[in-house]
Amino acid sequence: MNIKKDFPIFKNNEKLIFLDSASTSQRPNPVIYAIEDFYKNYNANIHRGLYKLSVEASELYEEARKKIANFIRSEYEEIIFTHGATESLNIIANCLSENLNEGDSILLSEMEHHANLVPWQVIAKKKRLNLRFIPVDNEGNLIIDEKLFDNVNIVSVAHVSNALGTLNDIIRIEKLAHKNNALFVLDAAQSIGHLEVDVKKINCDFLAFSGHKMFGPTGIGVLYGKKELLENLEPFLYGGDMIKDVSLNDSEWNDLPWKFEAGTPNISGAIGLGKAVDYLNKTGIDNIKKHEEELTNYLIERLFELRDIKIYNPKERTGIVSFNVNKIHPHDIAELLGKEGICVRAGHHCCMPLMKKLGINGTVRISLSVYNDEKEIDKLIETLKEIIKRFD
């Protein structure tokens, strides 16, 4: 795929080899232009002004929502704009906890990102709820035991592990969750933009993702929820735009989705994310998936050339590959790769319980995107070989 040219960062940083897209992706020109275009030509607050500029800004914002709804096959009013997956998960944890009582249970997994763990921990402590965890085996796969789902109220798991690249069996998890009348929350932060995310097919009740990992801007994300469920939840934030009528002692909430969007939102961010969705559609999710699978194959094949390498979950092909080499601390490897312009992530990847379970302090993580190619992998391997030699 010769689409590197769409991403100006590579033109402006010629030697850049960016292998950290799971942390945040780069942005293509149309997304950058859309943000600039908004501020230059349409900047006004939305849903309020009676003048043309505000109407246009509102249309652009709501048009972006439609694009995102189509992208994940949801209804328009089921898309709530947030700051990102973390905020989406915090909102849903807090909103759902309102209907939970002491002794109720939440099922997570041991591989969750802190964003899908800490919010539940906090509400569990506050409301005396039980937290259960789907365990992880030595390779980084979930061990899904039906018994774990007994009398559970909420199940919240990652689609793809940000730390190891594991693609979880969400078909089975969804079935078990709903068989037990639990609500199913899916953290799609690491899968969206890399593989098909269709909320109708998945049949999740809620879904969270960020814009910045799918070529969109930072500071914008989405919380999807089934309409009938969102309608019955109380809002999380209160203020402007989320109300229909306010008197001194009482207020009536706005319709979906605005009920959950208090205050002036990230308008340019939403518009930018809409453009990112256009870009993903134009490139084709299937093409992206194929490219990333092939490149992951090549990466893993070449990584196995290294002596004493431990790759976590080497069977997965989601574009994320986590490894350790010969007791060299991941930070040392990442810092030395960085000196050669090769950007990778090293550490616990916001999954400290998972690292503890695997008995390690962290890993080096390579995460691929459409703009990566085999030449970059070759340079990575060559540099890794030099680093290993230096540490011998």
Partner 1 sequence: MDIYSENIMEHYRDPMNLGKLEDENAYCKDSNPLCGDNIEISLSIRDYKIKNIKHISHGCAINIASSSIVSEKIKDMDIKEVLKLNKDFILNLLGIQLNPIRLKCAMLSLRAIQKATTKYFGDNKNAGS
Residue 391 touches partner 1, criterion: CB under 8 A: yes
Residues 304-333 that bind partner 1 (CB under 8 A): 328-329, 331-332
Residue among 15 and 339 whose Cβ is closer to partner 1? 339
Phi and psi of 20, rounded to 5°? -135, 40
- 177-195: b (≥16 Cβ within 10 Å) or e: bbebebbbbbbbbbbbbbb
What residue type is assigned to position 318 of the chain?
Answer: T
**Closest CB 355 distance from partner 1, rounded Å:** 8
Nearer to partner 1, 309 or 360 (CB): 360
Smallest distance from the beta carbon of 357 to partner 1, in angstroms? 14
Query: What's the maximum distance between 2 C-alpha atoms anywhere in the chain?
Result: 72
Distance CA 264, CA 351 (A): 32
Task: Select 169 or 340, whichever has its Cβ closest to partner 1.
Answer: 340
Of 239 and 338, which has the nearer Cβ to partner 1? 338
- Does residue 347 touch partner 1 according to CB under 8 A? yes
Interface residue with partner 1 among 122, 361, 373, 388 (CB under 8 A) is 361
Residue of 137, 286, 335, 386 interacting with partner 1 (CB under 8 A): 335
Q: Which of 198, 108, 216, 119 is nearest to 161 (CA)?
A: 108
What does the alpha-carbon distance between residue 139 and residue 111 come to, in Å, rounded to a whole number?
Answer: 12
Q: Give the whole-angstrom CA distance, residue 162 versus residue 41.
A: 37
By CB under 8 A, tell whether 77 contacts partner 1. Answer: no
Among 4, 302, 348, 357, binds partner 1 (CB under 8 A): 348
Alpha carbons 19 and 25: distance in angstroms, whole number: 9
User: Taking the complex as a whole, how short is the minimal distance between the CB of residue 379 and partner 1, in angstroms?
Assistant: 19
Task: With contacts defined by CB under 8 A, name the span among 196-204, 224-232, 254-262, 353-361 that binds partner 1.
Answer: 353-361
Catalytic residue among 95, 204, 343, 350: 350
> HSE of 88 in the Cβ direction (CA atoms, 13 Å)?
28
The kind and range of the H/E element at 228 are helix 227-231
Q: Which among 142-150, 172-180, 345-353, 368-376 is the span making contact with partner 1, rule CB under 8 A?
A: 345-353
- Rounded CA-CA distance 291/289 in Å is 6
d(C-alpha 79, C-alpha 83), whole Å: 13
| Selected range binding partner 1 among 174-182, 284-292, 359-367, 368-376, rule: CB under 8 A | 359-367
The Cα–Cα gap between 371 and 279 comes to: 13
- Is position 119 an interface residue for partner 1 (rule: CB under 8 A)? no
Name which of 265 and 347 has its Cβ closer to partner 1. Answer: 347
How far apart are the C-alpha atoms of 206 and 227, rounded to whole Å?
10
From residue 198 to residue 237, the character string flagging contacts with partner 1 as x (rule: CB under 8 A) and all else as - is ----------------------------------------
Strand partners, 252: 245
Cα distance between residue 281 and residue 71, in whole Å: 8
Smaller CB distance to partner 1: residue 52 or 390?
390
Q: Would you say 370 and 283 are in contact if contact means Cβ atoms under 8 Å apart?
A: yes
Helices (H), 284-370: 285-303, 330-339, 352-358
Known catalytic membership, residue 95? no
Q: Which stretch binds partner 1 (CB under 8 A): 5-13, 72-80, 256-264, 344-352?
A: 344-352
Q: Which is nearer to partner 1, 127 or 329 (CB)?
A: 329
Amino acid at 5: K
Cβ-based neighbours of 54, under 8 Å, separated by 6 or more? 44, 45, 46, 47, 48
Give the count of residues interacting with partner 1 (CB under 8 A). Answer: 16
Taking contact as CB under 8 A, which single stretch among the options 124-132, 186-194, 218-226, 357-365 is the one that binds partner 1? Answer: 357-365
Contact between 339 and partner 1 per CB under 8 A: yes
- In the bound complex, what is the minimum distance in angstroms from residue 362's beta carbon to partner 1? 6
Using CB under 8 A, list all residues that contact partner 1.
Answer: 328-329, 331-332, 335-336, 339, 347-348, 352, 355, 360-362, 390-391
Catalytic residues: 350
